[in-house]
Amino acid sequence: METYNYEATTKDGNVVTGTLEVANESLAIDRIQDMGYFPMKVSKADDVEGMVSRFFSSLQNRITDKDIMTFTYQLGVLLDASFPLDRSLSILSDLTEK
């Protein structure tokens, strides 16, 4: 079993996100549809692109210029310290309050 993250919409148009443990991406899509959602994005949990997308999606409409400057500075510090991108984003995600 593999872990997949998803972003989907409800019949009302609300965006929902979640995680599923299934054998493959096709089964993840089937499971999301069985829940009555319309899948927009499905990616493996260890997929860096998926992590970045989820991180910024979670901050949508709540991010200020100061938050962006702080995030960019902190990301730069972690990358300069030779942290891998996925680990750096994970650390910053854990520290994010909004």
Task: Between 51 and 7, name the one with better pLDDT.
Answer: 7
Instruction: Give Cα 23 to chain centroid, integer Å.
Output: 20
pTM recorded for the entire structure: 0.48
Beta bridge partners, 21, equal: 3
Of 74 and 46, the structure prediction assigns the larger pLDDT to 74
**14-70: pLDDT as tens digits:** 889 999 999 999 999 999 999 999 999 998 877 666 667 767 776 666 667 788 899
The pLDDT of residue 81: 94
Query: What are 60-66's contacts with CB under 8 Å, separation 24+?
Result: 62/98, 63/98
Distances (CA, A) of 79 to 56, 63, 87, 96: 18, 22, 10, 18
Distance from C-alpha of 81 to C-alpha of 24, rounded to nearest angstrom: 35
